[in-house]
Amino acid sequence: METRAALKSQYHAALAMLRQAIERCPDDLWTAGEHPRAFWRIAYHALFYTHLYLQPNHDAFRPWEEHRDDCQFLDAVPWPPHAQPPEVAPYAREQLLAYWRFCDEMIDAGVDRVDLDAPESGFPWYRMPKLDHQMVNIRHIQQHVGQLAERLIPAGADPDWIGSGP
């Protein structure tokens, strides 16, 4: 299998599991969790960084039209004064599903656009080749799907394992 096809397949599969987590989340869990790690915010974080890291570099990134500043952070903002991200009204499930569709629809063109042979990721805080960085991005999605699944399992709503994309 060709590398780009494999990346596309795994991106789509990881995002499909994230979609299931978002869809299956009971209403009472949507905003549950210690600030800033509410369910909705973890899902948004995973989508934001999927979107960001599918770009050739940081300068090429344009936030989603409904992005709210600093909502993508799950820990202290990484620049001074290193404060906790602000508490904001949660995104509605429908909004995150719209962002999910936006991200899923950009996978094929995004993977085709990046130079997988580039020795740099395009993001100064990631010192690795671009292909490695794309694999890190897929692992990042799965890490957060796992976090969300741990919250969904007690409610009987965990996402199904999906081995390849649509």
Structural domain including 146 reads 3-73+87-155
| Alpha-helical segments (H) within 3-129 | 3-24, 27-30, 39-53, 93-113
Residue 166 lies in a domain: no
Residues 104-150 have pLDDT tens digits of 999 999 999 999 999 999 999 999 999 999 999 999 999 999 999 99
Sign of CA dihedral 131, 134, 138, 140: positive
Residue 115 lies in a domain: yes
Residue 79 lies in a domain: no
| Residue tagged 């906790």 (tokens) | 84
Among the listed residues 12, 3, 1, the one whose alpha carbon sits nearest the alpha carbon of residue 116: 3
Residue 161 lies in a domain: no
**How far apart are alpha carbons 22 and 31 in whole angstroms?**
12
Residue 165 lies in a domain: no
Confidence at residue 165, expressed as pLDDT on a 0 to 100 scale: 45
Confidence at residue 69, expressed as pLDDT on a 0 to 100 scale: 84
Residue 62 lies in a domain: yes
User: How many structural domains are present in the chain?
Assistant: 1
Residue 164 lies in a domain: no
Q: pLDDT class for 80, splitting at 50, 70, 90? A: low
Q: Tell me what percent of the residues of the chain surpass a pLDDT of 90.
A: 77
Confidence at residue 1, expressed as pLDDT on a 0 to 100 scale: 59
**Comparing 18-27, 79-88, 125-134, which segment has the lowest mean pLDDT?**
79-88
Give the CATH number, domain containing residue 15.
1.20.120.450
Residue 81 lies in a domain: no
